[in-house]
Amino acid sequence: METAIFTANNVWMMVCTALVFFMHLGFSFLEIGLTRQKNTINILFKNVFIICTGLLLYYIGGFNLMYPGDFNGYLGFAGFGIPLPENGLTPDYASGGYTYWTEFLFQGMFAATAATIVSGAVAERIKLGGFMIFTLIYVGLVYPIVGSWQWGGGFLSTIGGENGGFHDFAGSTLVHSVGGWAALIAIYLLGPRIGKFSESGKAQAIPGHNIPLAAAGVLILWLGWFGFNGGSVLSADPAGTSLVLVTTSLAAAAGGIGAFLLSTILYKNYDLTMFLNGILGGLVGITAGADLMSPNESVVIGLLAGAIIVLAVAFVDKIKLDDPVGAVAVHLVCGIFGTLAVGVFGAKAGMDQFLYQLAGVGATATFCTITSFLILFSIKKTGGIRVTKEEELEGLDLHEHGMDAYADFRLNQH
């Protein structure tokens, strides 16, 4: 019986690993759809580079930075590579939830997501070489260090004593805000795309070239979130997984409706892109507390996250930052909201828990803004991070890749 349960747990975790991997296709589709045709190859290249290097970096050292064993709570390292423990393939490992190999692969899929978030925010004007250098450092070092503070048994998991501790079930802060803070710093240092703001400073829409593809990307991401949150139960426990999938889905649906309603009231039109980002906002918002919320609470969190998306997108435009896909609004703002919501809603709600959540947000914000600024500013001052005006106007596909994503289509247009 023990072997059967162990096998079922491990299979579920492998399915979740596949679903999280599938999310990278969703991110790619969303980013492509919301940007212009002339940068499609560039976006695909970045996303393929992120998943390939992310896994390798996590294998080389990231996994053991994030799970260093006994350490001082702030920084630890268990060595290079992933040597198999003696009990790594048995029910004695991880309370029978999965094998060591499965744990590495599942966590490795999370690692690359932080850089994928940044990719969308800096689309259409960042130098590919500079972005790749940033990805190597941020995914290889920054993400696993922050993860170790909570998931690796670090100081965030122990604040407040035995009955306290920061709670981030599947990464509203540890994944989404880690990427969101870097995205914010990156778009500040890069500056807006040509034509995004008029001479008077008013934000102007730069329409994406394939909204159906963007919609497909969001639906793929919603499906992938079943693995992202469902796998974070760390077993196939029936009660845990079923609750998490229900709260995740309800928050996503409510997030879409919240964004749709508020954007319609404010702008007097039915904006599909806002609807889609509302779904993602609901998903990010529920991720920190998906295991603690009731269905009713997950709907409230989703509705609030969807409304926050609309306001956050407008605010980012107001302060003259250019975020082509709304990554800062979705992943940073809703990541913060979802993390703090654990102290307001659900099984751990209370002022003490809210303060623990606030401490986690603050520590992550401080570390990620400082490190991402140092990395990106150094790249800007050495090799540069912004493409030339000519390259931006003609498209990065032509100048950085020498190819066209829709060659036959363009040929037929002449």
Buried b (16+ CB within 10 A) or exposed e, 285-303: bbbbbbbbbeeebbbbbbb
Rounded CA separation 338/358 (Å)? 11
Rounded CA separation 117/112 (Å)? 9
Q: With CA atoms as reference, report the closest residue to 286 among 323, 252, 236.
A: 252
Task: Identify the DSSP state of 173.
Answer: I
Structure-token pair, residue 332: 């940073």
In a domain, 224, yes or no: no
Rounded CA separation 125/390 (Å)? 11
Rounded CA separation 9/233 (Å)? 10
DSSP string, 234-294: SS--HHHHHHHHHHHHHHHHHHHHHHHHHHHHHHSS--HHHHHHHHHHHHHHHHTTTTT--
Q: How many structural domains compose the chain?
A: 1
Structure-token pair, residue 68: 């260093």
In a domain, 105, yes or no: yes
Say what the pLDDT of residue 60 is. Answer: 96
DSSP string, 339-382: HHHTTTSSTT-SHHHHHHHHHHHHHHHHHHHHHHHHHHHHHHHH
Say what the pLDDT of residue 409 is. Answer: 60
Tokens 């751990």 -> residue: 348
Say what the pLDDT of residue 388 is. Answer: 93
Give 33's contacts (C-beta < 8 A, 6+ positions apart): 208, 209, 210, 211, 212, 213, 214, 215, 216, 217
Q: For the chain, what percentages of helix, strand and coil (3-state, to nearest 5) are there? A: 70, 0, 30
In a domain, 327, yes or no: yes
Under the phi-then-psi rule, with left for phi > 0, alpha for psi from -120 to 50, and beta for the rest, what region is 343?
alpha
Helix (DSSP H) and strand (DSSP E) numbers for the chain: 19, 0
The answer to whether 287 and 172 have CB atoms below 8 angstroms apart is: yes
Chunked into runs of 10 residues, the chain (414 residues) has average pLDDT values of: 88 96 96 95 96 95 94 94 93 92 94 88 94 95 96 91 84 95 96 90 90 97 96 93 97 98 95 96 97 97 97 95 95 97 94 95 97 96 93 91 80 46
Say what the pLDDT of residue 410 is. Answer: 54
What is the value of pTM for the model shown?
Answer: 0.94
In a domain, 407, yes or no: yes
Domain that holds residue 392: 2-217+230-413
In a domain, 398, yes or no: yes
In a domain, 308, yes or no: yes
Q: Which residues pair with 274 in a beta bridge?
A: none
In a domain, 222, yes or no: no
Q: Tell me the CATH number at 172.
A: 1.10.3430.10
Say what the pLDDT of residue 3 is. Answer: 84
Task: Identify the DSSP state of 126.
Answer: B
Rounded CA separation 388/188 (Å)? 17
Say what the pLDDT of residue 311 is. Answer: 97
In a domain, 223, yes or no: no
The answer to whether 29 and 22 have CB atoms below 8 angstroms apart is: no
Say what the pLDDT of residue 198 is. Answer: 86
